[in-house]
Amino acid sequence: MAKFAKRIDYMQATADVVRYLFESMTDPETISFGGGAPAREALPVEIVHEIADEVLTREKRGVQALQYGNPIGIPDLRQAVIDRLLTPMGLKAGLENVIIVAGGIESMNLVSQLYLEPGDVVLVESPTFVHTVQIFKMFEARCIACETDDHGLVIEDVEAKIRQYSPKMIYVIPTFQNPSGRTMSLERRKALAELGSQYDIVILEDDPYCEMRYSGDRLPPVKYFDETGNTVFVNSFSKIFSPGSRLGYAFADEEIVRKIYDAKTATNSHTNVLTQILCAEFFNRGLFEPHLKMICDIHRERRNVMMDCIQSMLPEGVKYVYPDGGLFTWVELPGQVDTTAMLGDAVAQKVAYMPGREFFVEGQPVRDNCMRVSFGGVMPEKIPVGMERLAKVIRSKLYRTRS
Amino acid sequence: MAKFAKRIDYMQATADVVRYLFESMTDPETISFGGGAPAREALPVEIVHEIADEVLTREKRGVQALQYGNPIGIPDLRQAVIDRLLTPMGLKAGLENVIIVAGGIESMNLVSQLYLEPGDVVLVESPTFVHTVQIFKMFEARCIACETDDHGLVIEDVEAKIRQYSPKMIYVIPTFQNPSGRTMSLERRKALAELGSQYDIVILEDDPYCEMRYSGDRLPPVKYFDETGNTVFVNSFSKIFSPGSRLGYAFADEEIVRKIYDAKTATNSHTNVLTQILCAEFFNRGLFEPHLKMICDIHRERRNVMMDCIQSMLPEGVKYVYPDGGLFTWVELPGQVDTTAMLGDAVAQKVAYMPGREFFVEGQPVRDNCMRVSFGGVMPEKIPVGMERLAKVIRSKLYRTRS
């Protein structure tokens, strides 16, 4: 059988864990804090049904929905992105600055197509999003982690690593970060944009959780402070509309958008038109804002229940992040508990989480005693049940570690 | 502004022509034989409307449609591919051999991810499909064209080029080829599969038009003759269901499917779930077979009208392919008419086609006097109007060339 390309070997290791988690999520008895899915109760099934029923006729948008589309996306969805998402963040965009893609992951894939050569260095947060690291590995880039604290990337460490590694790109999830749930401060957002401009580095800003804020004040994105076009802002509709629709967008300087257009054409021609129409109508009928409020109410409750459980159920010495939004908290266990080794026991007890090890790369210490705990996809009454199971598994490990 | 990767420069040239054609297609006055779109009248708007209306509820499949899916695709669509498409071709497949992707182009992109290193050689037909060449260029592969005649790839030339270039992959569209409309003979299909096995080369078989046969007998695919797993069979639902849905699949040995799964995960997580459900229901409600008959009836009429126009309207000395199916014919003009240079005049006369030059790569002569003429997207009563305009432009060029 013909040999696979090197990039396929590089990306192998993590993919197995991702597949394992996908599989554990299919057992209905398992309470999974492992995935990154939002609440199924927050999915706009009735809204999509009503819009689909209305637009899927030959007189309305049925033919457009089923025929080939333009690689850049349909104009009304791009305009909705500008009016309803970018403008409220203080970002100034024209239609030529926005391209629709098939989800947040695809936006990262396309920006990597644009910039990354084998051996290029990408600076990332520590911890960082495992799926994006997989993409960078597929492009044979070297990921170097920078130090983070409760206010996000430590800018001094980023600058030191810029000097040491001459990176091509810096990848950041500034708001309710995946996996840590942390949010980068205003000052650091500004400083990061300035570093991108000063050293001519691409800042890939991935902000899929920014609309899902349950407490605290909204912050402008890194892109807001970009004066040279070095920051590429990408986002997903997965959390505010629907993950299964695979919709996202990139906002960047026109020249960059034109190159993304070329890479998109050679990746899959264009994004599914029907769901672009459904999503555009969702915005343009004024349904987004009330739906977002409902989403935030649902997830705020889950966040609150989860944080209560963590405080009351997990053994003493456990550290955690209190997230102001998004879907995740980040739990650091005491002692030398290896959360990767523990996952099998947890799945046997019908509870799952994402082991921390997967989120660490070269440049910062791997912390095997951490885990990403997602509260988004679990009903509030099930969170205590799952956390009780998880606490039991953790206690048994702590006991064994200490004895 | 940060420097783009080399691959982006390599793919530049053709992308401009593709964009130009996309733009010319938006003028409603222009009759475009340029695109590869099927008839809008053949799009299953009413079918999709009815299915969407029925499945988009929380009790049925509404939550599944909007939530994250599995990278391999939904089981009922994969089973439909096996039962309704692969089995009738004589192909034996299990669920582990089929992965759903976001259209035919994406299947080519993913197989390229799996195999191509910079500098690898891909053997292609001459002429070959321009979009796929763009993908190979994005992967920094070198495309070498092999000789073709009315029965497809000339096997002796393929074998000579295998010895000369040690290619990693051979790319072939065996049925109603894009752009030529030609079909590869049974003997050559078998011989090509055997060459793949003998020299351990990946045969990438792309067969999106095979169901759209208007005359003559069906042939088994190259994959049918593959005994070593070297042939990867990819296909699209664009022509038999809907292009805008961006659905396709790959059929290959399980190990290859697992690697495509990894590459798909790092490209865009998974394919849009809603349209996977709509397409699965389309098959499983028995709607595919009567719809396909309607599609073939519509396109057969257009093929017939187009071939009559070519015979009666175009100047003497024009050569052409009579296609037994698909969407294209291939026209070779007499003399030294450059169809790329002529496109501007044609668009000014409100008619478009795809210049032949784009379909030629290194290894075979570039034939500037050829064009791909697509009859799929034009109403039968408009075909003579467009062809009259095109004939006029051609005659004016011939006159100028001769004078």
**Does the beta-carbon distance from B5 to A103 stay under 8 Å?**
no
Nearest to A382 by CA among A348, A349, A351, A347: A351
What contacts A258, CB < 8 A, 6 or more positions away? none
Domain of residue B385, CATH code: 3.90.1150.10
Question: Would the CB atoms of B113 and A7 count as touching at under 8 Å?
Answer: yes
Is residue B266 assigned to a domain? Answer: yes
Prediction ipTM score: 0.95
Q: Which residues of A touch B8 (CB under 8 A)?
A: 113-114, 259, 262-263
Closest CA to A142 of A162, A164, A168: A168
Contact check, Cβ <8 Å, B105/A266: yes
Taking contacts as CB-CB distances below 8 angstroms, the residues of chain A near B45 are 56-58, 62-63, 65-66
List of chain B residues whose C-beta atoms are within 8 Å of the C-beta of residue A113 = 5, 7-8, 138
Please state which of the ranges A253-257, B39-43, B61-65 shows the lowest mean pLDDT: B39-43
Interchain contact, A272 vs B15, CB within 8 Å: no
- Are residues A212 and A114 located together in one domain of the fold? yes
Residues B100 and B184 in one domain: yes
pLDDT attached to residue A25: 63
Nearest 5°: phi and psi at B332? -115, 120
Instruction: Assign A279 to helix, strand or coil.
Output: helix
Residue B177 and residue B199 share a domain: yes
Q: How far is B364 from chain A (nearest CA, A)?
A: 24
DSSP B364: S
Residue B215: inside a domain: yes
In a domain, B237, yes or no: yes
Partner-chain contact B259 A8, CB within 8 Å? yes
Taking each continuous run of H as one helix and of E as one strand, the counts in chain A are: 14, 15
- Kindly determine whether residue A244 and residue B35, on different chains, have CB atoms separated by under 8 Å: no
With respect to residue A1, please indicate whether it lies within any of the assigned structural domains: no
Contacts of B32 (CB under 8 A, 6+ apart): B21, B24, B25, B351, B352, B353, B374, B377, B378, B386
Residue of chain B with shortest Cα separation from A269 = B105
Of all residues in chain B, the percent with pLDDT exceeding 70 is: 95
pLDDT of residue A22: 63
Read off the pLDDT band of B283 (50, 70, 90).
very high
Q: What is the DSSP letter of A373?
A: E
Q: How long, in residues, is chain A?
A: 403
Residues B71-92 have pLDDT tens digits of: 999 999 999 999 999 999 999 9
Q: What is the mean pLDDT of residues B246-250?
A: 98
Which of B226, B252, B287 corresponds to the end of one domain?
B287
Contact flag A63-B40 (C-beta cutoff 8 Å): yes
What is the phi/psi pair of residue A23, to 5°?
A: -70, -40
* Nearest alpha carbon to residue B177 among B311, B372, B386: B372
- B214: domain CATH number is 3.40.640.10
Give B370's strand partners.
B332
Residues of B in contact with A10 (CB under 8 A): none
The partner residue sitting opposite A62, judged by closest CB among B45, B57, B230, is B45
Question: What mean pLDDT comes out for the span B3-25?
Answer: 73
| Residue contact A228–B138, C-beta within 8 A | no
Contact residues, chain B, for A115 at CB < 8 Å: 2-5
**What total of structural domains would you count in chain B?**
2
Measured between its terminal Cα atoms, the distance across chain A in Å is: 50
Contact of A295 with A42, CB cutoff 8 Å:
yes
Residues from chain A that touch B22, judged by Cβ atoms under 8 A, are 70-71
Name the DSSP class of A32. E
**Is cis: bond before B355, omega within 30 of 0?**
no
Measure in Å the smallest separation between the Cα of B262 and chain A Cα atoms. 7
Is B267 part of a structural domain of the chain? yes
Closest B-chain CA to A226: B1
In a domain, A329, yes or no: yes
Q: What is the 3-state secondary structure (H, E, C) of B153-220?
A: ECHHHHHHHHHHHCCCEEEECCCCCCCCCCCCCHHHHHHHHHHHHHHCCEEEEECCCCCCECCCCCCC
Are A281 and A291 within 8 A, CB to CB? no
**Yes or no, beta carbons of A66 and B245 under 8 Å apart:** yes
Angle, nearest 10°, between helix axes B130-138 and A254-268? 110
Q: Both A36 and A119 in a single domain?
A: no
**For residue B358, what pLDDT is reported?**
86
CB contact under 8 A, A109 and B49: no
Same domain, A278 and A306: no
Instruction: Tell me what pLDDT residue B166 has.
Output: 98
Length of chain B: 403
Where residue B10 falls among pLDDT bands split at 50, 70, 90? confident
Boundary residue ending a domain (B287, B307, B324): B287
Q: What is the mean pLDDT of residues B212-231?
A: 97
Residues A74 and A37 in one domain: no
Crossing angle of helices B45-55 and B273-284, in 10° steps, is: 110
Which residues of B are less than 8 Å from A249 in CB distance? none
Structure tokens at B112: 């390229």
CA A321 to chain B, closest CA, distance in angstroms equals 26
**Model confidence at B353: pLDDT above 70:** yes
Scanning every residue of chain A, which has its alpha carbon at the shortest distance from the alpha carbon of B199?
A: A2
| Positions in chain A short of pLDDT 70 | 12-26, 400-403
pLDDT score for B336 = 81
Residue with tokens 């496109």: B343
> Tokens representing A42?
């927050």
Q: Using CA atoms, how far apart are residues B86 and B231, in angstroms rounded to an integer? A: 14
Are residues A11 and A19 in contact, defined by beta-carbon separation less than 8 angstroms?
no
B44, B66, B131 member nearest A43 (Cβ): B66
**B352 φ, ψ to 5°?**
-130, 155
How far, in Å, are A386, A388, B130 from residue A393 at the CA level? 11, 9, 56
Q: How many CB pairs under 8 A join A and B?
A: 256
Nearest CA in chain B to A252: B1
Cα separation, A315 vs A402, in Å, equals 13
**Interface touch B243/A70, C-beta < 8 Å:** no
By Cβ distance, the residue of B46, B53, B246 closest to A269 is B246
A53/B48 CB distance under 8 A: no
Q: Are residues B368 and B317 in the same domain?
A: yes
Q: Residue B348 to residues A185, A321, B17, B231, B390: CA-CA distances in angstroms?
A: 55, 63, 16, 44, 11
- Is-contact A330 A181, C-beta < 8 A? yes
In this structure, are B38 and B174 located in the same domain?
no
Residue B22: pLDDT over 80: no
Instruction: List, in order, residues 6 or more apart from B217 with CB less than 8 Å away.
Output: none
- Chain A residues near residue B113 by CB distance under 8 angstroms: 5, 7-8, 138
> Is B138's CB within 8 Å of A266's CB?
yes
pLDDT for the residue numbered B9: 84
State both tokens at A251. Answer: 């906002």
Rounded-to-integer distance, Cα A62 and Cα B273, Å: 18
Chain B hits for A58, CB-CB cut-off 8 Å, are 45-46
Q: Please report, to the nearest 10 degrees, the dihedral formed by the alpha carbons of residues A136, A145, A353, A216 taken in order.
A: -110
Burial of residue A136 (CB within 10 Å: 0-12, 13-18, 19+) is buried
Q: Which of B10, B19, B20, B31 is nearest to B381 (CA)?
A: B31
Which of the residues B24, B50, B55, B56 would you substitute to probe the A interface, choosing the one with the greatest number of A C-beta atoms within 10 Å? B56
Domain final position from A245, A268, A285: A285
Range of the domain at B270: 45-287
CB-nearest to A43 from B52, B67, B109 is: B67
Asked if A268 lies within 8 A of B19 by C-beta distance, the reply is: no
Burial B376-398 (b: 16+ CB within 10 A, else e): bbbbbeebbebbebbbebbeebb
A200 contacts B2? CB cut-off 8 A = yes
For residue B24, what pLDDT is reported?
63
Which residues of chain A make contact with B265, given a CB cutoff of 8 A?
15, 18, 105, 131, 134
Q: Any bridge partners for residue B101, and if so which? A: B248
- Listing DSSP states for B280-349 in one string gives HHHHHTT-HHHHHHHHHHHHHHHHHHHHHHHHHHSPTT-EE---SBSSEEEEE-STT--HHHHHHHHHHT
Helix (H) or strand (E) holding B222: none
A66/B245 Cα distance (integer angstroms): 6
As a dihedral over the C-alpha atoms of residue B267, residue B272, residue B277, residue B278, rounded to 10 degrees, the angle is: -130
Residue A367 carries which side chain, given as an amino acid letter? R
Reported as half-sphere exposure (CB side, CA atoms, 13 A), residue A210 has a value of: 22
Greater model confidence, A24 or B282: B282
Strand-pair partners of A99: A250
Phi, psi (degrees; rounded to nearest 5) at A319: -105, 155
How many other C-beta atoms can be found within 10 angstroms of the C-beta atom of residue B368?
A: 18
CA distance B212 to chain A (A): 17
Nearest CA in chain A to B137: A266
Q: Is B72 in the same domain as B193?
A: yes
Distance of residue B315 Cα from the nearest chain A Cα, in angstroms: 33
Q: Nearest chain B residue to A246 by CA: give it.
A: B272
Is the confidence at residue B17, as pLDDT, over 70?
no
Answer yes or no: do B56 and A48 touch at CB < 8 A.
yes
- For residue B327, give how far its alpha carbon lies from the nearest alpha carbon of chain A (Å): 15
What letter does residue B88 receive in the DSSP assignment? G
Residues B218 and B307 in one domain: no
Least CB–CB distance from A244: residue in B65, B201, B266: B65
Token code pair at residue A5: 């390309």
Mutate to test the interface with A, among B21, B26, B32, B49 (most CBs of A within 10 A): B49
Do residues A31 and A113 share a domain? no
Does B202 sit within 8 Å of A262, measured CB to CB? no
On whether residue B158 sits in a domain, the answer given is: yes
∠ CA(A361), CA(A362), CA(A366), 5° rounding? Answer: 60
Angle between helical axes of B130-138 and B104-115 (0-180°, round to 10): 30
In this structure, the answer to whether residues B62 and B133 fall within a common structural domain is yes
CB contact under 8 A, A58 and B45: yes
Q: Is the pTM of this model over 0.90?
A: yes
Q: Do B131 and A269 touch (CB under 8 A)?
A: yes
Query: In this structure, is residue B355 part of a structural domain?
Result: yes
As a whole number of angstroms, the distance between CA A263 and CA B11 comes to: 9
Close Cβ partners of B11 (under 8 Å, ≥ 6 residues apart): A262, A263, A266, B134, B137, B138
Chain B nearest-CA distance from A346, in A, is 22
Dist CA B314 CA B378 (whole Å):
18
Q: Give me the residue from A1, A267, A272 closest to B245, CB to CB.
A: A272
Say if residues A121 and A158 touch (Cβ distance below 8 Å).
no
